């Protein structure tokens, strides 16, 4: 009998397994007594910020910082579970003088990972692995892994289109989908359930969703909370809140899924989904793949449908949108990355027109 193939996963360390930026913020607030205290939301991009939060960088020169980094809650159990499913490697970028400290910490806290699987260096694109899991969007962008996956953090909020998750459970659900150990069969949808439309900007997802609402009984839209200001014809799909309100909802864990798209926050409340299902209706949502995996993690009977559309048409639709040029650039640049998301959706529907697509989806789901 041949050896069974096992996928390989490379894990980042800082802010994926060990607290880094939150720990540095805690130390900075204790040392300098900031009033109000620095919050993690102030670290909203990679590198120096030209703000008071730059004080955290002084701690990254102290060996005691790396010796005492707390293990993120749930990280040990996550690594144990992941080690049962894939070969696990470490891919960590750290100053050479602290490599010994980092290695000792990993060996002590995560004994499931073989010492020979610990890679230290900034060129993570050289790693030959199936999956890279990292909070640095520059590493995810450059990765040659088959599935580079981003851990959502405030400093990667402008990442658009790539595979991303909010927590360990969502990563494990995504792994389940990638390895095809999860499969949604045609016609197995049961009402009330959850239908999620996924696809790149310009794929007519909202137009299709509105058509489905007209033609499928007992279907109700799930509105997203967003920091994006009103201005498009899809406004009735969103509840607009300020960035401060959005961050407060995140801190209070009111949003069970959240994502950033072109710099704007989007999120959903679990209670909103439950209210619709408890009313006997099915939920219709328009989300990116990050939101879709969150829904799959938190609910059963969820089907994801990728809307495929010709790239030239997508670009044309994006250029016609009433949004600023930078957002148009962000959406166009993300198109190739978003196309990969079709591989992990349950079904793919090619764009013809919204009425034909709606009929195709009704046939797929047998509703």
What's the pLDDT tens digit per position in 259-296? 766 667 888 999 999 999 999 999 999 988 888 888 88
User: What average pLDDT score do residues 153-178 get?
Assistant: 86
Per-residue pLDDT at 189 exceeds 60: yes
Look up residue 8 and give its two tokens.
């390989």
Candidate CATH numbers 3.40.50.1000, 3.40.50.300, 3.40.50.970, 3.40.50.10490; the one for domain 8-156: 3.40.50.1000
Top-level class of domain 194-365: alpha beta
**Is the full-model pTM beyond 0.75?**
yes
Identify which of 179-193, 209-223, 336-350, 352-366 has the greatest average pLDDT: 209-223
Burial of 366 (0-12, 13-18, 19+ CB in 10 A): exposed
Distance separating alpha carbons of residues 69 and 19, to the nearest angstrom: 6
Residue ranges, comma separated, of all CATH 3.40.50.300 domains in the chain are 194-365
Residue ranges, comma separated, of all CATH 3.40.50.1000 domains in the chain are 8-156
Other Cβ atoms closer than 10 A to 211: 19
Contact in structure between 136 and 12 (CB atoms under 8 Å):
yes
Helices (H), 40-152: 63-68, 75-85, 99-109, 137-142
Q: Please give the pLDDT value at position 182.
A: 56
Confidence of residue 94 (pLDDT cuts 50, 70, 90): very high
Confidence of residue 250 (pLDDT cuts 50, 70, 90): confident
Lowest mean pLDDT among 90-94, 99-103, 180-184, 346-350: 180-184
Residue corresponding to tokens 């509703």: 367
User: What average pLDDT score do residues 7-30 get?
Assistant: 98
Q: Please give the pLDDT value at position 231.
A: 60
Q: Please give the pLDDT value at position 3.
A: 41
């Amino acid at each position: 009998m041949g050896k069974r193939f096992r996928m390989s996963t490379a894990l980042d360390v800082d802010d994926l397994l060990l607290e880094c930026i939150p720990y540095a913020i805690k130390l900075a607030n204790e040392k300098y007594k900031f009033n109000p205290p620095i919050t993690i939301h102030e670290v909203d991009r990679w590198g120096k910020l030209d703000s008071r939060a730059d004080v955290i960088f002084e701690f990254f020169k102290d060996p005691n910082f790396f010796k005492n980094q707390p293990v993120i809650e749930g990280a040990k159990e996550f690594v144990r579970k992941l080690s049962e499913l894939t070969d696990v490697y470490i891919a960590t970028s750290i100053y050479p003088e602290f490599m010994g400290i980092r290695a000792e910490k990993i060996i002590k806290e995560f004994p499931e990972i073989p010492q020979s699987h610990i890679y230290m260096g900034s060129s993570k694109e050289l790693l030959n692995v199936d999956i890279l899991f990292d909070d640095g969007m520059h590493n995810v962008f450059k990765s040659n892994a088959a599935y580079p996956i981003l851990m959502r953090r405030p400093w990667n909020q402008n990442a658009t289109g790539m595979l991303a998750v909010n927590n360990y459970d969502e990563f494990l659900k995504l792994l389940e989908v990638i390895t095809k150990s999860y499969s949604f069969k045609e016609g197995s949808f049961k009402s009330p359930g959850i239908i999620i439309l996924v696809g790149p900007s310009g794929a007519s997802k909202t137009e299709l969703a509105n058509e489905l609402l007209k033609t499928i009984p007992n279907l109700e839209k799930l509105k997203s909370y967003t920091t994006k200001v009103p201005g498009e014809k899809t406004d009735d799909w969103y509840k607009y809140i300020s960035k401060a309100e959005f961050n407060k909802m995140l801190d209070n864990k009111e949003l069970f899924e959240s994502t950033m798209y072109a710099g704007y926050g989007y999120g959903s409340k679990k209670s909103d989904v439950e209210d619709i299902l408890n009313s006997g209706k099915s939920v219709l949502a328009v989300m990116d793949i990050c939101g879709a995996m969150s829904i799959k993690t938190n609910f059963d009977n969820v089907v994801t449908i990728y809307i495929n559309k010709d790239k030239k048409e997508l670009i044309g639709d994006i250029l016609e949108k009433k949004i600023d040029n930078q957002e148009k650039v962000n959406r166009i640049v993300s198109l190739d990355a978003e196309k990969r998301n079709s591989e992990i959706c349950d079904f793919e529907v090619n764009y013809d027109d919204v009425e034909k697509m709606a009929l195709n989806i009704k046939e797929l789901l047998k509703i």
